Structure 1
C-alpha cells in the first residue's frame, strides 16, 4: 500500500514547523464546550498558583475609602469617567504604547467635569512574563505624567513564569498593585509612582455609579479559574447593589471575532453559572487579551443586548486581525459584532451615571493619525432575569 510521505507527521501537533491552531472564521469562540489543550500553543502556560490576598473576603476596594476626593468629584458631577486600556506593554516597540499613553495624558487636561478619574487596566501590563525588572520600560515610564490612579486585573502575561528561579507568578504585578504599605519602588527610577493596595488579584471596585467585578483568569489559553473564584464571582453578582451599573472585567474575552485567540467558552461558563445562580446580568463586560478593539452584543435578557468589549489595543506592537464584518452573527453563539478596530491602537473612555453607560474610543494608527472611533450608550438599570435557569448558553 502506498503512503503519502509525511502524512502521519502532519496529523501530529509535533510535526516540524507546527504552529498554534487557527480559530474558525466567522466564529466567536475557538472551541465548543471545554477547550482542548494543544501541546504547541499551551507549552509553559499551565495554571499558576495565586499569591496570598492582601485583604479579606469579599475583596472590596471602595473608592470612597481610598480616594475620597474622587468620590466627592463624582458625586458632585453626577457621573464617573474612567479610561479602559488593555495589553499595553510595549515590549518590542514602545512607540505604540507611548502614543496611546500620550493621548490618555492629553485627556487629563480636559475641563474638570470631563476629566477621567482613574484608569482601569484589563491586564497584560508587562510582556512577556510580567517580570518586575520590565515594569520601568513598560509601565512606569510610559505613564510618568498620568497623574490619576491606575487600577488593574492581571493578564496571562502578567502571570506567566518561564523560569521558576526568577520568582513566583505575578511577583511583578503584586509588587506594584498589592502593597500593604504603598511606597515608591526604586525600580521606577525617574518616573516615581506610589504603589497600590488592592486586596487581591481578583477584586471588586466600588464607586458611586458602578460596581466593577474584576476577575483573574490566570495563564492558560482561554483562561482558567478555580472553584473558589467561581463562588466569589457568584457572590459578587448576588450582592451587587441594584442602584448602579454592574460591570464585569476579565482578561480573556468571552467572545472575539479575531483570527488569533478567539473567545473562550470556559469564561462563558463562568458568567453563565453566575447568572444562573443569581439571575443578575452585568450591564457591560470588559476584557483584553486579543490585541484589537471589538464591541460585541449578546442577547441574554429581554431588556436589551449585553455589550461585551474587547479592549486589547493599548500598545502591544502586533495587532490581531478581525475575520468578520460589522453586523456578522456568529453561528456558534449568536453573538453580533458591532464595531471592530484591528489596525489602530487606542483606549476606551467610559462615562457612567445613574441612567446610562456611554463609551467613546480614541484610536491612533501607525502614522500618528488620531480619530474618535466607536461610540455607544447602554442603560444602567439592573438586569435581573425572572427565571435565571432560562439563560441561554453563552
Structure 2
C-alpha cells in the first residue's frame, strides 16, 4: 500500500512537470512574438512574462528533491523575478543604472551556473545543464550590451526568450522529491539512515506534523479572515470592478510579506545556524545514545540534548516538507510570517513609508494596470454619453464673473488629496487667495483623491479641506482618480445628469466585469449632491474629464492624460479643433502629466505623450502646466528646429500629496533645459530630512542624498521620507491674465504666502533679471500670439 502511494505521488509530480513546462513554453512563445505584435510598452510586457516564469521556477523549486537543485531554483527564480519587477517598473529608474543592474544580474547568474558546472564535473555529478544555463545568461548579457540601441523590441524579445528557455529546461530536467519520503530523506542527509531508532523518531515527528497541519490551517485561515475584515473596514467595497478586490489585494499583500519574512529573512538565518549546528549534531546524538535512557538521571543533560535533537529533527522535517510541497511551504511560511506581516502593516504608516509597505495601497498597483488599459475606452464612452461634439466650442465652461474682454485671474492646485497635514497646511492660503474678488475659478490638476479616487474618500480628502471656497471649482483627473474607473470623480465634478450618463456608459463598456449598477450610480450621484450641499462647495459643472475656459483673447485648455500619459482619439480631435480655432489667442494648456519634471524630460514616456508635446509645439502653445509630480518646477524650452517658439513648462503638483524630491536632488549639470527653477530648494529640503529621519532609516537617506538612490531614482524614493510635520514645502499657483498690459503673471504660494526667490534653486533666465533673492517670486510672460 505504501509503495502504491509513493507511485501515485511520483505520477502526480510527473504530471505537474509537464504542466509547468507547458506553461513555460507558452510564455516563451509570447516573448518571441513581441516584435510582431502592437505592444505599447514591450519592456513592461516582458517584465510581466518574466514574473510569471519566475513564479513557475520558484514553485517548482519546492518540488525538487536535491538541496542544491532547490537552492538553484529559488536563486534563479529570484533573479528572474527581480529582472521582471525592474522591467515592469522601468519608468521609476534611471535608464543607464537600470541596464547596468540587469546586466549585473545576468552576469552573477551566469558565473553561478559556471561554478556549479565546474564543481559537479569535478565530483562526477551531472553538469551539462549548468553549463548550458551559464552560456544562456552570458548570451543574454551580450545581446543587451551590443544591440540595445538598435531595436529594443527584438532585444527585449530575445533576452526574455533566453531567460524563459532556461527556466523551461530546468523545469523539465530537475529531479523532484516525493513528499512521502520526507523522514527518510532527512535521516539520509544526517548520514544516519542505518539508525532504526532515529528513523522511528523521524516517522513519529512526521506524523505529528501531519496531525498539526489541519490545526495550523484553521488558525491561518482565521487570521487571514480577520485581516480581510480589518482591510475591508478601512477600505470599503470598490464600486468599479469586483467589489472586494482591493481588500483581497491587501490580504494577498499581507501573505506575500509573511512569506518574504519567513523564507527570505528567517529561513536564511535558520539555514546558516543549521550549517553550524549540523557539525556537532550527529556527535551529540551518539553521545546521548551511549547510555540507555532508563539509566539517565532525572536532571541529566542528555534529556535536554535529546529534547533539542527532537526539536531540530522536527523542524528539519517541516522545512523539508516545505521543499517538497508547495502547500506545506505556504502553510509553514504563513505560520511563521503572518504575525510579523500584521505588525508591519500596523506600524509602517506611522513610520512614514506607507506607499511601500502598506498593503492597502498595493491595490493601487492593481488598479494602475487595469485602469491603464481601460482609460481611453472609458473616456471615449464618457465623451459619447455627453452628447457634445468634438468641435472648437465643445466642453466649454463659463464661470460667472469672468471678464470676456478684459483681465481676470484663476488658481491652479495640483495633487492635493491625501487628507493629511501636508494637504491641510495649505488650506488658509488657498481660501485667502481663491476667494479674492478678481479670481474667476479654481482648478485642481491631477489626483484629487488618493489612493484610488473612491467616493468614500471624497468627504475627508476633498470636501472638508476645501470647505469655505466660494469660486467655481473645475478639475482634470490624475491616474489615481482613474483607479476607481472615475466614478467618484464623475459623481463629484460632473453635473448630476452628465455624471449619471457617463457612469452608465462606462458600466456598459465593462460588460459584466463591474459591480457598478444603476442603483450604485444613483447612490454615488446622490452622495455627491448631498456633500456639495452640506459643505456649500461650488463644484459639479463639467460634462467630461477635460474642458476649456476662454474669452476673446485667452484659452485655458485642460487636457486629461489618464493613467499612461495618453489621450483617446475623440479627445485628441477636440484638442486639435480648439487649437485650430485659437490661433489668434493666447493658449495655456493644463495636463495631468508634465513634459518636464524631476530635473528630466518626460516626453519620451511613450510615443503618444511625445506626440502630444509635438502637437502643442506645432500650434505654438506658449504655456504648459501639469500636476502629478508633487512640487513646483519651471523649465524654459528654447525654440526647436529654428521655429522661433519658446515654451514655458510648469510643474504645479505641490497641493498636498507627499513631497517629490527628484528636482531638488537632481544634479544641476544634467537639467534638460538651461533655464530652470524648483521649489523647494535642495538645502532646506536636506535640512528637514536630516533632522526628521530616524537612525534606522538614515542609511537609506544617505543612499539618496549621496548617490541619488542608484540604481533607483531619488524621486521614486520620495515617499520613504514623507514626514507630515513642519517645515512644509507645499505650494499652488495664481495665474493673472492681464490683457490690459498684454501679459500673463504666474504667482506661486507656499504655506505662509507668496514664495520668495530664496526659497528656490534656479539657473539661467528662470529668475528675472534684476530680481533679488529676497524678492517675491513672480513670472511675467508676454501675451504675444
Normalising to structure 1: TM-score of the pair? Answer: 0.74
2:416 aligned with 1:346 = no
Shift in Å, 1:260: 12
- Secondary structure at 2:731's aligned position in 1? strand
Q: Which has the higher contact order (CA 8 A, sep 6+)?
A: 1
What CA distance in whole angstroms lies between the structure 2 residues aligned with 1:293 and 1:145? 25
Does residue 174 (structure 1) correspond to residue 490 (structure 2)? The answer is yes
Aligned to 1:82: 410
Q: How far off its partner does 1:95 sit?
A: 1.3
Aligned partner of 2:394 in structure 1 is 60
Match of 2:535 among 175, 191, 208: 191
Where does residue 229 of structure 1 map in the other structure? Answer: 571
**Structure 2 equivalent of residue 271 of structure 1:** 613
Q: Where does residue 124 of structure 1 map in the other structure?
A: 447
Offset of residue 209 of structure 1: 4.3
Q: After TM superposition, give the deviation of residue 84 of structure 1 in Å.
A: 1.1
Between the aligned partners of 1:191 and 1:203, the Cα distance in structure 2 is: 24
Partner of 2:27: none
CA distance in 2, matches of 1:135, 1:34: 42
CA deviation profile, 1:172-213 (whole Å, cap 9, x unmatched): 111122115599722457423244221322222223542012
Q: Partner of 2:316 in structure 1?
A: none
State which of 356, 360, 363 in structure 1 corresponds to 2:743.
Answer: 356
Counterpart mapping for 1:88-103 below 5 A: 88-91=416-419, 94-103=420-429
- The aligned runs of 1:1-394 (5 Å cut-off) are 6=75, 9-10=78-79, 12-13=81-82, 20-21=89-90, 22-24=92-94, 43-47=369-373, 48=375, 49-50=378-379, 51-53=381-383, 54-57=386-389, 58=391, 60-62=394-396, 66-71=398-403, 75=405, 78-91=406-419, 94-108=420-434, 110=436, 112=437, 115-161=438-484, 169-180=485-496, 185-188=529-532, 190-220=534-564, 223-242=565-584, 244-258=585-599, 264-265=605-606, 266-273=608-615, 275=617, 279-300=618-639, 303=644, 305-322=646-663, 323-324=665-666, 329-330=671-672, 335-336=673-674, 338-342=676-680, 343=685, 344-354=729-739, 355-364=742-751, 371-372=755-756, 374-382=777-785
Classify the secondary structure of the residue corresponding to 1:229.
Answer: helix
Give the deviation of 1:108 after TM superposition: 4.6
- Structure 1's 128 and 308: CA in aligned 2 closer, same or farther, altered over 3 A? same
Higher strand share: 1
Distance in 2 between the 1:260 and 1:238 partners? 26
Contact 2:474-2:541 within 8 A present in 1 as well = no
1:1-52 CA-to-partner distances (Å, cap 9, x unmatched) read xx9x9477446546789993444389xxxxx99999xxx8964452322252
Work out whether residues 84 and 347 of structure 1, in 8 Å CA contact, stay in contact via their aligned partners in 2. Answer: yes
Separation in structure 2 between the aligned mates of residue 45 and residue 122 of structure 1, nearest angstrom: 19
Structure 2 CA distance for aligned equivalents of residues 106 and 345 of structure 1: 16
Whole-angstrom CA distance in 1 between matches of 2:400 and 2:586: 20
Aligned match of 1:392:
none
CA distance in 1, matches of 2:76, 2:628: 34
**C-alpha separation between the residues in 1 aligned to 2:656 and 2:427?**
8
SS of equivalent residue, structure 2 residue 654:
coil
1:260, 1:320 within 8 Å by CA — same for their partners in 2? no
How many Å separate the matches in 2 of 1:357 and 1:263? 29
SS at match of 1:252: coil
**Is this contact kept in 1: 2:410–2:736, CA < 8 A?**
yes
Instruction: Tell me if structure 1 keeps the 8 A contact 2:603–2:613.
Output: no
| Alpha-carbon spacing, 1:261–1:237, altered in 2? closer, same or farther (3 Å) | closer
Query: How far did residue 102 of structure 1 move?
Result: 1.5
CA RMSD, 1 decimal:
3.7
**Is this contact kept in 2: 1:25–1:324, CA < 8 A?**
no
Task: Specify whether residues 106 and 197 from structure 1 end up closer, same or farther in structure 2 by C-alpha distance, changes over 3 A only.
Answer: closer
Q: Residue 96 of structure 1 contacts residue 315 of structure 1 at CA under 8 Å; is this kept in 2?
A: yes
How far is the alpha carbon of 1:376 from its aligned partner?
Answer: 1.1
SS at match of 1:351: strand
CA distance in 1 between counterparts of 2:597 and 2:461 reads 26
Q: Distance in 2 between matches of 1:352 and 1:34?
A: 45
Q: Give me the whole-angstrom Cα distance separating, in 2, the residues matched to 1:262 and 1:230.
A: 17
**Equivalent position SS for 2:587:** strand
The Cα shift of 1:327 comes to: 7.5
Q: How many residues are treated as equivalent by the alignment?
A: 341
Q: What CA distance in whole angstroms lies between the structure 2 residues aligned with 1:160 and 1:141?
A: 22
- 1:80 is displaced (CA, Å) by 1.6
Q: Name the structure with the higher helix share.
A: 2
CA pair 250-372 structure 1, distance change in 2 beyond 3 A: same
Q: Is the 8 A contact 1:253 1:267 kept in 2?
A: no
TM-score by length of 2: 0.39
Q: How far off its partner does 1:121 sit?
A: 1.5
The answer to whether the Cα contact below 8 Å between 1:352 and 1:358 also exists between their aligned partners in 2 is yes
Structure 2 gap segments, 5+ residues each: 1-71, 97-148, 157-364, 499-525, 686-728, 758-776
